[in-house]
Amino acid sequence: MAVTGIVLFGYVLGHMVGNLQIFAPDRDQINHYAAFLHSPANVAPLWLIRAILLAAVVLHISAALQLTKLKSDARPLGYIKKKNVPSSYAARTMIWSGPIIAAFVIFHVLHLTVGAVMPLREVGANQPDVRYNVVSAFQNPAVSLFYILAVTLLCVHLYHGLWSMLQSLGWISPRHSQAIRKGAAAFAILVCLGFVSVPIAVMAGLVTY
Ligand code: HEM
């Protein structure tokens, strides 16, 4: 889970930074970036990254299912009274935040990559008009709200995921445990703000076509 988590986290971070280009002074910056990613020279690396991501998602989910099974096999009988004192809210919600995030990603790819939810515009062949597509999507408050909720859930998942990952890899000493927990929270909040700033800015009229 930790290794596939690193791959997925790396993608999420890179994608968030890429999206922030919508705020660049050059209004076409984000479209230039998309054109670069989709350029003929980058077809092979793009599909390689997509394949690695898909493999990481499949392995991450199957590891989560194995972990859940191990837990239920270890204690087949439920607790009569369950106190969640040592675990955080984020830790207890991992098992359902994961499937909701997976459903969001499927919707999101159909929405802004495939164009199955709304027609997508292109500036030229293989050059998505990301600025237009993102702005027209987020001008609908229901779509924006849905993205904001999904990204917030992703960041709660990320917070606990980051923390567990560092523990699984043995990179946390008990002495630094509290500081690392705070660092993981701060990182997750920054990632969340980076993503939600886009729908919020569109709804506030700060980012336009
Ligand atoms: C407000 C938040 C987000 C915005 C504005 C956004 C924007 C976009 C856009 C415009 C594309 C299409 C890019 C292209 O065609 O070149 C895209 C693709 C994608 N996004 Fe997002 N995204 C957001 C959040 C997320 C999150 C939270 C995740 C993951 C958990 C994610 C995962 C993906 C994936 C997997 C693709 C498909 C990439 C590909 O294979 O071409 N996105 N996103």
| Residue 38 structural domain | 2-74+93-203
**Is residue 111 a part of any domain in this protein?**
yes
Nearest CA to ligand 1 atom 1: 195
- Could you tell me the pTM of the whole model? 0.91
The pocket around ligand 1, CB under 6 angstroms, is made up of 12, 15, 19, 34, 37, 50, 105, 108-109, 112-113, 128, 130, 134, 147, 151, 154, 195, 198-199
The answer to whether 190 and 208 have CB atoms below 8 angstroms apart is: no
**Is residue 101 a part of any domain in this protein?**
yes
Residues with pLDDT less than 50, the chain: none
**Is residue 147 a part of any domain in this protein?**
yes
**What pLDDT does 180 receive?**
85
Total number of domains in the chain: 1
- Half-sphere exposure of 108 toward its Cβ, with a 13 Å CA cutoff? 15
Looking at every residue in the chain, the average pLDDT score rounds to: 90
**What pLDDT does 88 receive?**
64
**Is residue 81 a part of any domain in this protein?**
no
**Is residue 108 a part of any domain in this protein?**
yes
**Is residue 84 a part of any domain in this protein?**
no
Nearest CA to ligand 1 atom 24: 195
What's the CA-to-centroid distance between 158 and ligand 1, angstroms?
Answer: 17
Element (H, E) at 123: strand 122-124
